[in-house]
Structure 1
């Protein structure tokens, strides 16, 4: 992900911001669950570079999703940003993934980057209908607002949310600075609108745009897009900082987390995801699954370690 990347991160303050004013109020609406469901994933499964490390040696492209599903339990489904899958593709994806796997489809760019967020486009209902066919394997959809879509257009977002089917979980990513620096009461009204509708937000942790890490939760589902810097030591420190914050939110009522690791070209994303999973193991209340490297022993047998 190119958004927010910097050539030099030496002067970036990577500390997590304090919670936004509305986060505690949002979480109070939800009862603490017995288990904290934590989904860890990347942004695609078609990575031939993972064959022999995170996919078994000899894995063919048609087997990549099955191999991915054995290592991760969610995916930031960027393919839907560019085209709506067919019902046949949806059924194949469901068949090729384990029971605990969740897809997080991105709203198509034809909708999200149009003037009215696509609510007048017939593809709006088409996308919703196809996405619903994921059934129990649907995690949370996410709407990535275009960079020019500012707080002054909150009314358009509200109309999108009103039309969005209530049975499809949704999280929204804002990028325009006005969502974080605009008039305070207008910002609170906009986030309050999302909270009232049960629509969540996306928190993007990236070096060059610390404002988009706004820490404003508006539902019981947190979606985090974590952009690393080629496994720089700060990547691991940032992961460690997230864990107590997320556990605190769980104690307050958060139900689910979708945590997506990004690295340059995504070749190293599984390394960061594996570190996150290992860091969660000491906490029995967290239900998580993460990747492990595959190795071949002297007898030629493959195993995970």
Structure 2
């Protein structure tokens, strides 16, 4: 993922501190707390088709056809970017759903034919096709991920709202805003978050090094959808995760209902390591019991026929965690 990327030598210059919650976030959470929901937390990555995860979290010699099945043993959701590049079909998503457990959630991204080529105008046919396709997920369908074209500025607010209102009301929907004017212009900022709130639509928070404006900390529903973009297990990746864990803990105390946290790296090879660290810290500080990803190197060695066991090796998670503490 290249969004918000900065050069390695510039990372130490970035102010990664999370801003305070936006005005209104606390009110939304307090209102929801009265309903007594038990918070749910989902952690996942953006894709499962990573050949470089074979020997890392996928067993050696795992076939590509089995990647999803193994991915779902480590994570309870996925930010499904594949549907952005190719229109999903019912049979395809039904097949994917059959490979995961009952509690797993797919969070598909609207196809670029709708968001980028047509920019949300005159897209009823394509939208119906997309919704038919993702319906194959059944009860395993999580929130839909809508990213309007980055060129869609505040002047397109009416277009965005009309599209959102055209969707079935029982869908869980989150929107990611990328045009800088949504954040730099106070009136536009107020207008778009008011629009999302009145349409019961979530606002995606994207934490990337080069776009700190997208870390807006504004929840328009009692659910959070966080896209975290790390920098190759740089020490700041871990301190940033620590800050997020504390913010999520505060939101849980205030009444948040669901948190979807999706791990990205500019090189996705390292997403499982940071995901494991995130889950460890959530379990430690937030009282959750989320199963940790299990690395191939973490599996206890088995003695061979002559009684010799493979040499003990530290996992990448242990190495990088120790680097963080240094």
Distance 1:125 1:227 in 2: 31
1:244 maps to: 246
Change (3 A) 1:88 1:115: closer
From 120, 123, 126, the equivalent of 1:123 is: 126
- Are the counterparts in 1 of residues 89 and 132 from structure 2 also a CA contact under 8 Å? no
- Are the counterparts in 2 of residues 19 and 215 from structure 1 also a CA contact under 8 Å? yes
After the TM superposition, list the runs of 4 or more consecutive aligned residues in structure 1 that deviate by more than 6 angstroms: none
1:71 maps to: 74
Matched, 1:133 2:136: yes
The 5 A counterparts of 1:6-45 are 6-7=6-7, 8-31=10-33, 33-45=36-48
Distance 1:5 1:261 in 2: 15
- Are the counterparts in 2 of residues 37 and 288 from structure 1 also a CA contact under 8 Å? no
Distance 2:94 2:136 in 1: 8
Distance 1:36 1:18 in 2: 21
Matched, 1:46 2:19: no
Distance 1:110 1:289 in 2: 36
Structure 1: gaps (5+ residues): none
Matched, 1:151 2:141: no
Kindly state the Cα deviation for residue 188 of structure 1 after the two structures are TM-superposed: 1.4
Distance 1:193 1:290 in 2: 37
Q: 18-27 or 32-41, which moves further after superposition?
A: 32-41
From 266, 269, 272, the equivalent of 2:268 is: 266
2:5 maps to: 5
Kindly state the Cα deviation for residue 121 of structure 1 after the two structures are TM-superposed: 4.0
Distance 1:9 1:70 in 2: 33
Change (3 A) 1:25 1:181: same
Kindly state the Cα deviation for residue 115 of structure 1 after the two structures are TM-superposed: 4.6
- Between Structure 1 and Structure 2, how many residues are aligned? 302
Kindly state the Cα deviation for residue 57 of structure 1 after the two structures are TM-superposed: 1.5
Alpha-carbon displacement from aligned partner over 1:242-291 (angstroms, at most 9, x marks no partner): 11111211222211111111113200000000000111122564353341
Matched, 1:81 2:84: yes
Highest RCO, 1 vs 2 (Cα 8 Å, sep ≥ 6): 1
Distance 1:67 1:95 in 2: 13
Alpha-carbon displacement from aligned partner over 1:136-159 (angstroms, at most 9, x marks no partner): 111111111222111121111110
Change (3 A) 1:154 1:66: same
Larger Rg, first or second structure (1 or 2): 2
- Are the counterparts in 1 of residues 89 and 134 from structure 2 also a CA contact under 8 Å? no
- Are the counterparts in 2 of residues 221 and 254 from structure 1 also a CA contact under 8 Å? yes
Kindly state the Cα deviation for residue 205 of structure 1 after the two structures are TM-superposed: 0.5
From 218, 221, 225, the equivalent of 1:219 is: 221
- Are the counterparts in 1 of residues 181 and 188 from structure 2 also a CA contact under 8 Å? no
- Are the counterparts in 2 of residues 26 and 195 from structure 1 also a CA contact under 8 Å? no
What's the TM-score, normalizing by structure 1? 0.93
Alpha-carbon displacement from aligned partner over 1:51-92 (angstroms, at most 9, x marks no partner): 122011221111000000001111110010011222111111
Distance 2:132 2:42 in 1: 24
Matched, 1:203 2:196: no
More strand by share: 1
1:107 maps to: 110
Distance 2:239 2:104 in 1: 27
Distance 2:26 2:286 in 1: 24
**2:284 match: secondary structure:** coil
From 180, 183, 192, the equivalent of 2:183 is: 180
Kindly state the Cα deviation for residue 129 of structure 1 after the two structures are TM-superposed: 2.3
